[in-house]
Structure 1
Amino acid sequence: MNTGDDYRGLGWAHGALTVQRLGAMLAPVTFILDDGRQVSPMHIAPWSNEPAAEALPGILRKLRGEWPCVPFGYSVPAEGWPENWARVMGSPATDEEIHGHGSNHGWTWRASDRGSLSLMLAYPEGGPVERIERTVRPDPSAPAIDIVLKIVVRRACRLPIGLHPVFRLPFETGAATLQFGGFDEGRTYPHDVEPGAALFARNKTFFELTAVPSRTGGVVDASRLPLAADTEELLQIEGVDGVAALANHEDGYRMQLSWQKEHFPSLLLWYSNRGRKAAPWNGRHVAIGIEPICSPFGLGPATALADNPIAQSGIATALEFSPEKPFVTRYRIEAAAL
């Protein structure tokens, strides 16, 4: 595949979008709102055009927008974790890649009609996944994009999977609001996502996003973004009804993400708020990941398949796949004026 074909774009009456082959990542996207304004809600990492980025792992090289993760997550050391987590945290497989093979490699363009872009990626021989396919289709009648993910497996298996939309945030602290209906329970990360950049208390539950237990006592309003603190954090939300939104008050628009909750029972919120100081992050990365998942905090396949504390509570952390029936899930990203 020649380098000139690393990106393909589509324009329609309500916007324009670009998909890159690396990770099949969707961004940039410009939506034209009903009032005529143009907004670009998807995040693009600030280093993506820097020469040093070429040496980064695939997923980080041109990190941007939205993409699927099959399998979702990556293994971390169990040292210092609560005992009920540590005992189920397995070592990474020799071929493990951060957020799966598809997040780190160039996909192949597939034939598609003029109104969509379609890509495919064959997975390494020997693994349970044969290939994954992705179709990105703008809604001809709205500032919205419909996406289809298909997973074909070689043999019956269980895997954690996730979707990874990452949205741009306004400059002013608290000028955007995360919005979703009631949920059953939220969980804070049981350890540090990034050493020295913690905000939330470890391994706690909560029932309002506006009152998440803080590492220093008290609570944090985790619904207003960007956060004031330099932090890198994860929250896992259970029982969301398959719709979440981000209202950007500074720029006057609302992004809505909708997904099939039967496939993704949890929602992972990735708060990347200047917390990572090492290269390429360099304390300048500000974005929110709103990620429908079937996974325990993205802790990698070994932990997802084990009887981990989230699975013990009745929330699936891995899905079953069959070679007889390819898995298909559909989701949508749409914009509206505030």
Structure 2
Amino acid sequence: MGAGEDFVTVEARGISVTLDLAVGHIRDLTVDRDGRRVAPLHRAPWFEESHADDAPAHLKRLSGDFLCAPFGLSDIDGSPAHGWPANSAWDHVETRAIDGGARAVFALQKQVMGARVLKEFTVRDGHPFLYQRHLFQGGEGAVSVGLHMMVSLPQGGHLSFSPKRFAQTPAEPLEPDSLKGRSLLAYPARFSDLKHAPREDGGTANLTCYPLDRNHEDCVMMPEAPGRELAWGAALRHREADLVLSLKRPEDFPSTLLWLSNGGRYYSPWNSRHRGVLGLEEVRTYLLSGHKASIAPNDFSEQGIPTSIGLTPSGEIDLRQAIGIMPVPAGWDVVTEVEAGDGELAVRSDVGELSVPYDAAFVLHR
């Protein structure tokens, strides 16, 4: 374990993760495997630029992955967009050795609706996964939550997912003012075929192939189809021959939100240079409608799709995810299935299969 004024790094054989304590963002996640080093998570190009000082903290130090509570608009507790977990300081509580790895615990200095929030990272020797969980202890009321992972896709790639109920764009485009930016999808729109997402111009876009176009900023939410114990999302980077996986239990995060950011914001600090970025975000929220709308009855919750967590003074909420990053054989084009076995995760593609060490019990709360 290494430490600096603003960053803490946790390591096991073949994997390291660094947390930015100022805002609780993952600064870096690197895997060394099969003689290759893989580090595909995104970091904003303005990270250390002084002109970004006026930006919210989560935007100024935008990197990797971070917890949002609430997710998006904060219109109840007075916190910034994406909440205090994404915008304020965390304390490094401890890092300790475990059998075959290491575990670190961090505590948010502020509270969320009266709840203490803990972040826990576990890394294991030879496992190409960051096992992370977030604990909400105590508190009162309800709040939307999400994990805001961002993948860098400068040369594009293929996206695939476990089955979803449907896909839906929010009520309004991310960039409705053509002088400030551009969104290309239709808003609002609900559809079932990711290869034929409705565009604003009447055409369709293939959401499984990234990028969709140049100079656009778009968002799509996809609730999980019922019946799966393990849900997953995959971003396969063809040119780099590597893969990013998000693994979750649908009971923790009932939906996946795609943020497609490819130069579609023209104003500072974006300045049309935030390109090739995919937000592969696991969420429990109602579209981009904010805290208040997510805890009220809404179109999703009425269909049995949870959009918030409920906090109680004596309760604890435990939310988990595994982020996997790994090299893949040359020639892989599409991930077709992900299946957890006894100590392994099988990743199947259109041309082959690989197996990697994996702690299946972690994500499933076993």
Tell me the secondary structure at the aligned position of residue 5 of structure 1: coil
For the pair 1:16 / 2:16, whether they are aligned, the reply is yes
Tell me the secondary structure at the aligned position of residue 9 of structure 2: strand
In 2: Cα distance, 1:132 partner to 1:227 partner: 37
Q: CA deviation at 1:54?
A: 3.0
The question of whether the paired residues in 2 share the 8 Å contact of 1:138 and 1:145 is answered with yes
Equivalent position of 1:158 in the other structure: 142
In 1: Cα distance, 2:116 partner to 2:302 partner: 30
Which of 77, 80, 104 matches 1:117? 104
Which of 241, 257, 273 matches 1:252? 241
In 1: Cα distance, 2:83 partner to 2:105 partner: 19
Equivalent position of 1:273 in the other structure: 262
Alpha-carbon displacement from aligned partner over 1:24-80 (angstroms, at most 9, x marks no partner): 1112122112x21111111000000112233321111110001111121205xxxxx
For the pair 1:230 / 2:220, whether they are aligned, the reply is no
Alpha-carbon displacement from aligned partner over 1:231-286 (angstroms, at most 9, x marks no partner): 11110101255211110001001111111210211111111111111010110112
Alpha-carbon displacement from aligned partner over 1:81-106 (angstroms, at most 9, x marks no partner): xxxxxxxxxxx236131111111111
Corresponding letter in the other structure for 1:176: G
In 1: Cα distance, 2:256 partner to 2:77 partner: 28
Equivalent position of 1:85 in the other structure: none
Q: CA deviation at 1:4?
A: 4.3
The question of whether the paired residues in 1 share the 8 Å contact of 2:260 and 2:279 is answered with yes
Alpha-carbon displacement from aligned partner over 1:142-172 (angstroms, at most 9, x marks no partner): 12111111011333x221111111111123x
Q: CA deviation at 1:299?
A: 1.8
Equivalent position of 1:98 in the other structure: 81
Q: How does 1:119-138 map to 2 (within 5 A)?
A: 119-124=106-111, 128-138=113-123
For the pair 1:192 / 2:191, whether they are aligned, the reply is no
Unpaired runs of 5+ residues, structure 2, are 329-366
Corresponding letter in the other structure for 1:258: L
For the pair 1:170 / 2:147, whether they are aligned, the reply is no
Give the structure with the larger strand fraction: 2
Corresponding letter in the other structure for 1:121: L
Q: CA deviation at 1:308?
A: 2.2
In 2: Cα distance, 1:258 partner to 1:94 partner: 30
The question of whether the paired residues in 2 share the 8 Å contact of 1:70 and 1:160 is answered with yes
Corresponding letter in the other structure for 1:161: V
In 1: Cα distance, 2:146 partner to 2:134 partner: 11
1:122/1:7 CA distance change after superposition, 3 Å: closer
Tell me the secondary structure at the aligned position of residue 116 of structure 1: strand
Which of 127, 131, 138 matches 1:146? 131
In 1: Cα distance, 2:211 partner to 2:166 partner: 23
Equivalent position of 2:304 in the other structure: 314
Tell me the secondary structure at the aligned position of residue 324 of structure 1: coil
In 2: Cα distance, 1:305 partner to 1:136 partner: 28
Which of 195, 199, 205 matches 1:210? 195
Corresponding letter in the other structure for 1:202: Y
What is the percent sequence identity of the aligned residues?
26
The question of whether the paired residues in 1 share the 8 Å contact of 2:205 and 2:212 is answered with no
Alpha-carbon displacement from aligned partner over 1:123-159 (angstroms, at most 9, x marks no partner): 35xx62322100112222212111111011333x221
**Runs of 4+ that moved beyond 6 A:** none
The question of whether the paired residues in 2 share the 8 Å contact of 1:22 and 1:107 is answered with yes
The question of whether the paired residues in 2 share the 8 Å contact of 1:263 and 1:319 is answered with no
Q: CA deviation at 1:16?
A: 2.4
In 2: Cα distance, 1:177 partner to 1:129 partner: 41
Unpaired runs of 5+ residues, structure 1, are 76-91
TM-score (norm 2): 0.81
The question of whether the paired residues in 1 share the 8 Å contact of 2:88 and 2:109 is answered with no
Corresponding letter in the other structure for 2:245: Q
